[in-house]
A and B are shown apart, each in its own frame.
Chain A
Amino acid sequence: MSGRALIIVVVGIIITTSVILHNISVSSTRITSNLNSYYSRQLGQDIAQSGVNLGLRQWANNPSWRTGFSLISMSGGKVTVTATDTTYIGKPVVMIRSVGITNYNTKDERRDTSTVWVAKDSLNPIPVKALFQTNGPTSTSGGILMDGRDHTAPPPMPPTLIDTQGVYAVWTTNTFTMGGSNAVAGTAGGVDYIPSTSQKKRAAILQTGQPSAGYPTTPDSVAGGASNGYPEGTLKNLAKSGINGSQYVTDPLTLKYPLSGVTYVELPSGVQWSPALVYGSGILIVHNNTTTAAIKNLSGDNKGNDTFTGVIIADDIVHLQGNIVGAVFELTSNPSEGVCIGNSNAQTYFSRQAVLNATRSLSGSSGGNGSAANVIGWWE
């Protein structure tokens, strides 16, 4: 091989090698770029989530806060947070949206969004006059305890007594007759009355013959109606929305347990739910348009799930036998099976905390922790 040929071969190999080395360099750059892209994505998401948490904390401190944050520096990037009023699954909420920006104002700028929907505390507490409010003749039998004094929400069970903050044991537009070994307790005029089987001695906490005019005929009117934030259909819509475990059924056998949120059982006219398995928490409604939906032999499962904590609103209550902590409303003026609202060894206690929790759970403000307690949806 001549020297010239050798030079040509060597130069050719050098050129080829240079091209290949360039390709290697390009490939390495792509790998690095891939890593950078992954890092930017993660950083952008982190910034966006931090922005959401910033907004949540601000909202927790001041629920009227809507001004947001504009392009504040965070973790080497920028974040913009907005807060607006809207609805989420039919519920009024505040939407907090955060946009995390990495490599701001460069050709590699990247934006990631994180959004949360925060429930407003829009539901007012249900007004309660007595542990039992009825619109018809009412009686008891067996060993039922009706304690209208205030208690904490369980646990423990029996709940802890809170002095002098309670309500009447019974408030009715008609008559009330104690039977069996029924004991009643309650609070009237700031005075607690301990359980007693004497109707005469406990007359102060047994309010009978009250005015029937204006007695509520629907669950929403029990809750105070439109003036209290419950226009007709509110509770049914909440039940249908499924919020916090709410359920709407026409067949109580399809209910899921433990009950929570609003449990709305709409029975055909004159149909009884019997025996009625009831345990859990929230608001239990048994109602229909003719005010004839009946719940009978209400009790737990005898496997340790024997207590319902919250508010029960039913057209017609027959033989309440389980443990109730909260308050009970009966709507009918004409009970279907006599007048015995409760019997057996049912333990019923008024609890202001339980009544408040029943509506707070629907606002999303019970349970959870920190600023995320009211969040009902995340999108990221």
Chain B
Amino acid sequence: MNDLQDIVGSIAVGGMVLLMLVIFNGNVMESAGMQTFKTTVQGNLTTVTNVIETDFRKMGYRLPSSLDSAIVYADSNRIKFKTDIDNNGTVDTVQYYIDTIKASLTPNPRDFVLHRIQNNQGQSMMIGITRFKLQYFDASDSLLTSNPVTATGRIKSIKLSINMESTDRILDNRRGGQLGNPMNDTSYVGAYWERTIKPKNLR
């Protein structure tokens, strides 16, 4: 009788220990997944901001006439400007804009395609950008409110805000609270970046 009690007790305790280990292992795997997604999103974000900053800082470089504004067109989600982007003596045209159509090739329903066009040669970035907002300021740091900006020659600085999310859902909505997504849909990992850039050649 005592032996039977020992066996039953051992099975119960062992089962509980095993269950705890399984649950613990599940949580650890979940954390690992989230961490991987965060790494990807933040890596993508710093990469895309690096590209944009590098281009924006060169805005207006080597333009022969100060009468012509370096910025050809500017609205809240599109900018087109002139610069010698590759420093070869020829002035290029660079354009950034975000599609109004969602990026259907990714599972994330909110992300857009960011386009970078250099002299009619385009590159599309489907990396989970859910917001790409441009704001323009004049020499006295006053916000230019017209959209699109009518007098682009007045633009002296540009504030750029980018929201980025993972292209894939990591958790369902019930568990999403753990992710801390700044865009409030907690089923995707998210990151936010903003910066005001003052291109030196826009004098």
Across the interface, do A27 and B38 meet the contact criterion of CB distance under 8 Å?
yes
Among the listed A16, A41, A242, which residue makes an inter-chain contact with B65, where contact means beta carbons less than 8 Å apart?
A: A242
- Whether the Cβ atoms of B61 and A27 lie closer than 8 Å is no
Say which residue of B29, B39, B46, B200 sits within 8 Å of A380 (CB atoms).
B200
Task: List, sorted by A's number, 28 A–B pairs whose CB atoms are closer than 8 Å.
Answer: A1-B11, A6-B14, A9-B18, A16-B25, A17-B21, A20-B29, A21-B28, A23-B32, A23-B35, A24-B32, A27-B32, A27-B36, A28-B35, A31-B35, A31-B38, A31-B42, A37-B46, A116-B200, A242-B65, A242-B66, A242-B67, A243-B64, A244-B66, A245-B66, A245-B67, A260-B66, A260-B67, A378-B200
Chain B contacts for A37, CB-based, 8 A: 46
B200: chain A residues within 8 A (beta carbon): 116, 375, 378, 380
Q: In the complex, are the beta carbons of A24 and B18 less than 8 A apart?
A: no
User: Which residues of B approach A to under 8 Å, CB–CB?
Assistant: 10-11, 14, 17-18, 21-22, 24-25, 28-29, 31-32, 35-36, 38-39, 42-43, 46, 50, 57-58, 61-67, 87, 199-201, 203
Would you give the shortest CB distance from B6 to chain A, in whole angstroms? 11
CA distance A27 to B14 in the complex (A): 33
B28 & A34 in contact (Cβ 8 Å cutoff):
no
B18:A247 contact, CB within 8 angstroms:
no
Q: A residues 211-252 with Cβ under 8 Å of B?
A: 241-247
Chain A hits for B31, CB < 8 A: 20, 24
Which residue of A20, A377, A380 is within 8 Å of B28 (Cβ)? A20
A89 touches B (CB below 8 Å): yes
Contact across chains for B35 and A24 when beta carbons are under 8 A apart: yes
State in angstroms the CA–CA spacing of A363 and B67 once bound together: 17
A71 adjacent to chain B (CB < 8 Å): no
CB distance from B157 to the nearest CB of A (A): 14
Q: Is the CB of A30 within 8 A of B39?
A: yes
Contact A1 B14 (CB under 8 A): yes
A235 CB, min distance to chain B CBs, angstroms = 16
The A interface is mostly helix, strand or loop, or mixed, namely helix
Contacting residues, chain B, for A23 (C-beta < 8 A): 32, 35-36
Question: For the complex, what is the distance from the CA of A91 to the CA of B42, rounded to whole Å?
Answer: 44
Tally of contact residues, A, Cβ under 8 A: 39
B65 to A34, Cβ gap below 8 A? no
Taken together as a complex, chains A and B put the C-alpha atoms of A90 and B31 apart, in Å, by 60
Name the CB-closest residue of B to A88. B62
A89 touches B64 (CB 8 A): yes
Q: 4 smallest A-B Cβ distances: which pairs? A: A242-B64, A242-B65, A378-B200, A27-B35
Contact present for A17 and B25 (CB under 8 Å): yes
Q: Does A201 contact B (CB under 8 A)?
A: no
Considering the complex, give the chain A residue whose CB is closest to the CB of B37: A27
Contacts of B203 in A (CB 8 A): 368
Q: Are B42 and A379 neighbours in the complex by a CB distance under 8 Å?
A: no
How long is the Cα–Cα vector from A28 to B62 in the complex, in angstroms? Answer: 42
Interchain CB contact (< 8 A) of B61 among A31, A242, A378: A378
The answer for the CA separation of A3 and B9 in the assembled complex, in Å, is 12
Bound state CA distance, A366 and B9, in angstroms? 93
Interface members, chain A 25-44 (any B CB < 8 Å): 27-28, 30-31, 34-35, 37-38, 41
On whether the beta carbons of A378 and B201 are closer than 8 Å, the reply is yes
Q: What residues of A have a CB within 8 angstroms of the CB of B87 in the complex? A: 379
Tell me the bound Cα distance from A28 to B61 in angstroms.
39
Whether A246 lies near B61 (C-beta < 8 A) is no
Q: How far is the CB of B54 from chain A (nearest CB, A)?
A: 9
Contact A10 B18, beta carbon cutoff 8 Å: yes
Q: Name the residue of chain B whose CB is nearest to the CB of A23.
A: B32
Residues of A within 8 A of B61 (CB): 377-379
